[in-house]
Structure 1
């Protein structure tokens, strides 16, 4: 009998690929606001339910929580900030309550977060042991998200995720157009670090945590070799065989995006030390190998 897994955020970029990767060995249930749409995206073999229909987690061997309003898609008005927070905190609290009230709780709870929890950190090398967080909105969102998840009475793994690179959407798709037109280039100073991870390594890493009973706590989900925005821009332009001669001034981005521009004007030099120490093998440890694999 196959194991059973519950996934929130299953129709997102990471979730869709995770479902595809796990469906042959797990019976998968996805929590979604629109079950009909989710079935069209994920296939008939995946059971799709709403959060209101989720009354128990007794039947699941594992829970993976990836739900959350995209953090950089819209300006950070007070209303949008509230949506960003509640879309993460509410479902996480629901799952934790169900786990803690369960007579047969899942063996593992894998819950999302982001490297934004560290706040802006310049060129300081950030491992999971780092605790001198910079106080800003991204830290507030992620810290409470993590704190809620860690209250679950089971093995808990937290995914502090960097920029996920994929040819199926996500942050990279938003960057491509200016580069394809020959108008791409560094953002602001270009010195800020971008800690990224290939989508396949992201999904394989989640499966690694699901299957290794000794893993627990926070994990940086980034490739071992973070790069500056300037380096990233040069590499992307080279991959697309386009020039990299323009620069987006910081004031332009601040005008267009408001406070949320902080996410791209500042960064963190994050390394996945705990995954490395556990022996996890990255298929795409360098930016060159990652970009070469993508259909751009």
Structure 2
């Protein structure tokens, strides 16, 4: 299809049979700041939910007038090329996406920002007008499908925009930093990159493969060029082998431990040798540091527990403490179960629960300490900026739940029963030691240090967090 005309007399809004969609959201910043957030690198990635099969083939000029983006939409074997051009815009107030070629007869999307009186924030309104192929039948049937699709998409996008800008407002007075990320291709690292760039930071990524502007490293071979790290202000260290990827063999346990110990040791050695080492290091750890704690409420002051994962976390944190020797403020994040439909433990649960074959694990009485992925990003941002955070920090929601409640809530969000329990003996038979420590252990963590600084969670309750992670509504 060709680009729709911009002359008012030819505007498709005036055409009969046009599809219209509008949705508004209040944002806690000015219209100018909300507009600027959309201008920064990473905004499109932040606004694209994991379930949408959209890839960027080419993009030039951000959202400036005349800038173009070419998308690939859909899944194989049906993938469509969609060419869009931005403009005409009103900087700080409105930017527009217009179809040049693509699946619609015409398409226009206005992102309009208007300040509220009193300077308390602004309102973003997304306005879409497009023509659907297929005549009257296409308009009737396609319109219903498209409206449901847009409702799901923009409910997610507006939540992301509102929450990210709340983080931006909280730390707007803090200086922009150059942040080094390890584990940048993992679930958390891949989300953290666009989150930080839209917050106004510059990001560098350590990668085993290098290329694409990344810094190459090989922890096993002890290879990392320290000169490439000069100018780094802060580090977020996330790299480590997956702990819940099947049964633990001796080789698997060795890889889990050494990927953390060797990688952290090499990184700290290179950072410590810099002329100007980073001012802050945020190093990942896990809630399993505490072992199986039963019904006890566990704060950061609790001692390490027993078991393989507790030993791994303790060794990981001990290596990270080298950061304190070169003067960095070190924050050790003991991360709970991260909620995301894109990956991690929740994504592995979805196939069974979607078919109605999900249920509690073991007795279901074990406590699950969890955190929404977007809240974890906010915690990392707080760790980078707030000097009151140092040492261990429990990166979990204030509201842990028992496994029975977790699985029942997941079933409710998916509108499926959760009545097929998996006995503990079956889990141990399938997964051995991993089942005992990662699936059946009880961990009731409290984020005491986050609460002490008044940290705000976007998703403190489980059901809303799951709905956001999975793109589900309340119906």
Q: So what's the TM-score if we normalise by structure 2?
A: 0.59
Name the CA distance, whole Å, in 2 between partners of 1:230 and 1:209: 32
Pick from 213, 225, 238: which aligns with 1:54?
Answer: 225
Q: Quote the residue 1:42 is aligned against.
A: none
Using the TM superposition, name which of 185-194 and 212-221 deviates more.
212-221
* Residue in structure 1 matching 2:192, options 7, 10, 18: 18
Q: Which has the larger radius of gyration?
A: 2
Structure 2: where are the runs of 5+ without partners?
Answer: 1-174, 218-222
Give distance in 1, aligned partners of 2:197 and 2:224: 22
Alignment of 1:1-296 (within 5 A): 3-24=177-198, 25-36=200-211, 39=212, 47-51=213-217, 52-56=223-227, 57-131=229-303, 133-152=304-323, 153=326, 154-262=328-436, 263-294=438-469, 295=471
**Deviation for aligned residue 1:258:** 1.1
* Cα deviation code 1:93-125 (max 9, x no counterpart): 112112322221101011010001000011100
In structure 2, C-alpha distance between the alignment counterparts of 1:34 and 1:196, rounded to whole Å: 31
What residue ranges of structure 1 are gaps of 5+ in the alignment?
40-46
Can you list the C-alpha shifts for 1:206-233, whole angstroms capped at 9, x where unaligned?
0111011232101000100000100001
Equivalent pairs counted in the alignment come to 286
> 2:394, 2:224 → 1: CA distance?
32
Q: CA deviation at 1:2?
A: 5.1
Is the 8 Å Cα contact of residues 367 and 444 (structure 2) preserved in structure 1? Answer: yes
**Structure in which a larger fraction of residues adopt strand:** 2
Residue range with higher mean Cα deviation, 19-28 or 63-72: 19-28
Distance across 2 between alignment mates of 1:48 and 1:205: 24
Equivalence for 1:43: none
- In structure 1, how many angstroms separate the alpha carbons of the residues matched to 2:408 and 2:368? 13
After superposition, the CA RMSD in angstroms is 1.4
Contact 2:226 2:274 in 1 (8 A): no
- State the distance in 1 between where 2:344 and 2:278 align: 30
Q: Distance in 2 between matches of 1:27 and 1:183?
A: 44
1:61-114 alpha-carbon deviations (Å, 9 max, x no partner)? 001100000001021111111100111111111121123222211010110100
CA distance in 1, matches of 2:441, 2:206: 33
Q: Quick one: distance in 2 between partners of 1:168 and 1:85? A: 25
- SS of the aligned residue for 1:17 comes to helix
Q: Is the 8 A contact 1:5 1:63 kept in 2?
A: yes
Alignment CA distance shift 1:207-1:82 (3 Å): same
Q: Taking structure 1 as the reference length, what is the TM-score of the superposition?
A: 0.93
Q: Which has the higher contact order (CA 8 A, sep 6+)?
A: 1
Q: CA deviation at 1:53?
A: 4.2
Structure 1 ranges of 4+ moved more than 4 A: none
Please give the secondary structure, in 2, of the residue aligned with 1:104.
Answer: coil
Report the 3-state secondary structure (helix = DSSP H, G, I; strand = E; otherwise coil) of the residue aligned with 1:122.
coil
- Structure 1 stretch displaced more, 112-121 or 150-159: 150-159
CA distance in 2: counterparts of 1:4 and 1:94, whole angstroms: 20
Contact 1:190 1:229 in 2 (8 A): yes
